[in-house]
Copies of this chain bind each other. A is one copy, B any other.
Amino acid sequence: MSKQELVVLGQDADDFCRPGLSAAPLGEDRAGELARVFKALGDPVRLRLLSLIASRQGGEVCVCELTPAFEVSQPTISHHLKLLRQAGLIDGERRGTWVYYRVLPEALEGLAAVLRPRAAEAEA
């Protein structure tokens, strides 16, 4: 996958310094970038995949364990994983036959910070 395809939310230290959507009106570029990530989360199978990976003790899940958990085909699961990866929410590493996925916690933390309402921001 090319670097251009990736949303690198949370991989840039600046992301953590940017105000959330309750602090000031989002600009068009930033809104487009964030919308891509939220769109990746806007599907029940992708959310369950992300949750299976994010909740795993040890932090890594083999794709061979993910596919049997769903009643959809392996190519469909691969497609959903690709979209989560392009959104910068997970990363994967091939080792031998299988790809092992892990969540990028800084991306989840960055998105959570974007959503935080004004009252919560003031308390932080």
Chain A residues within 8 Å of B, Cβ to Cβ: 21-26, 28, 31-32, 34-36, 38-48, 50-52, 54-55, 103, 105, 108-109, 111-113, 115-120
Contact = CB atoms under 8 A, between A and B. Distances in A.
A48 B23 contact: no
Q: Give the number of copies in the complex.
A: 2
B55 A31 contact: no
6 contacts: A21-B54, A25-B48, A35-B41, A38-B42, A55-B118, A112-B112
Contact of A42 (B23, B39, B118): B39
Given A39-B39, A47-B34, A22 B54 contact: yes
A109 B47 CA distance: 18
Contacts of A47: 21, 26, 31, 34-35, 38
A88 B115 CA distance: 14
Contacts of A116: 108-109, 112
Q: Which of A32, A47, A116 has the most CB of B within 10 A?
A: A47
A36 B35 CA distance: 14
Nearest to A19: B55
B52 A25 contact: yes
Contacts of A35: 41-44, 46-47
